[in-house]
Amino acid sequence: MPTEVVGLLTKIGIGITNKEDAAVAAQMLLDGVESDLRVRVNRIITGVGSGSLMPRRALTSHVWVEGSLRGDVQPNSFGYVLHGLGIPPTTSGTGPYTHTFNYGATSPSRWLSIAHAYNGIAKQEVFGGLAATRLRLGFDAERDEVLQFDMDLIGTYAALFNNEGTVIPSGVGVDSADPFVQALAIVESPIGTAIAQCIAADLEIATDRAIRWTARGSVFPRGHQPTIGMTVRGTLRLTFENDDYLKAFLNQAGASTYPLQHKNDPTAPITSLKLKWTPASDKQLEISIPRIVWTEISEPVRRNAVVEQELSFEALLAASLGRGLQIVLVNNTSAYNLGTQIGGS
């Protein structure tokens, strides 16, 4: 039986670049995460030889990077993760700092680099030009109170190094701050009125990202194709003090009638949604979606003296605001700057 040598990851570093075909050194080490990024290769089997029943050639057609990054949402490093969707934030404040990411109307201009350092092996893997095709945020207070993320990535660059200092420079710290742990998220109306508590949430952001290949004989990609679409959808499980709160939430007003009985109008009512996690003044996350439609609403369940409701939604672009989704992250990171490009990339 052959022996398999397994090198355990000891460090996972992350960095930001504005080049889709290059890599940068790690700017922060991630804690409580796992990565399965790997180089992917397409082969073309061809060339049946004269007098032979078997093909004679195996040609490499495409080489790219693909995989996932998943773990707990931690306040300082999560800003790097959000750059995988391609949009840099607007930062304000003087500590704590507020980073505002607006999605849905701007073309991506940022990519990620991920560095893997292994235990007992003089080898470090670096993957660059990484873009997220899917980012999922989720938590369930009845099972796990930690907000977690799961991101699918594709990329254009990979390299091996034998000097850890090249990919993870000395002084790069780890995000050791506690993740977002809070029993319930707060759901607000557009004017900021807390109207429900969220037991469980599942938000998925998907982008139409694809690799751009060349016709000039190279097996490596030229970069990323332009992003042509983004969808934001999710599911919530909420609790309300009584039916009046439920109706107010669905209508974003205090109406006394159930809002989804349309009466000959085929147009779905459009509302908005805001979720907040605020365990500390320097550790906050707010997800604001200015225009959504409820795509599915369950029958309310009345138990434990509250009304429980499960709802699914999909976001629409708010053209007047220039976004369909806003994520506001408050932490102790003053800025998310571009990293130092690694030589040879």
Q: pLDDT tens-digit profile of 147-159?
A: 999 999 999 999 9
Q: Which range, 91-100, 103-112, 216-225, 238-247, is most confident?
A: 91-100
pLDDT score at 251 = 63
For 124-154, how does the pLDDT look when each residue is reduced to its tens digit (9 = 90+)?
A: 899 999 999 999 999 888 887 789 999 999 9
Contacts of 258 (CB under 8 A, 6+ apart): 247, 250
* 158 DSSP assignment: E
pLDDT score at 215 = 66
pLDDT band at residue 190 using 50, 70 and 90 as cut-offs: low
pLDDT band at residue 30 using 50, 70 and 90 as cut-offs: very high
Element containing residue 79 per DSSP (H, E): helix 78-82
Give the least confident one: 21-35, 263-277, 326-340.
263-277
Nearest to 19 by CA among 115, 155, 110: 110
Q: Which range, 40-44, 59-63, 333-337, is most confident?
A: 333-337
C-alpha triplet 316, 295, 137: angle, nearest 5°: 70
On the question of pLDDT at 2 being above 50, the answer is no
pLDDT score at 216 = 62
Query: 303-315 burial, b if ≥16 CB within 10 A, otherwise e?
Result: eeebbbbbbebbb
Cβ(118)–Cβ(124) under 8 Å? yes
Compute the average pLDDT of residues 218-223. Answer: 80
On the question of pLDDT at 258 being above 60, the answer is no
Query: 18-56 burial, b if ≥16 CB within 10 A, otherwise e?
Result: ebbbbbbbbbbbbbbbebebebeeeeeeeeeeeeeeeee
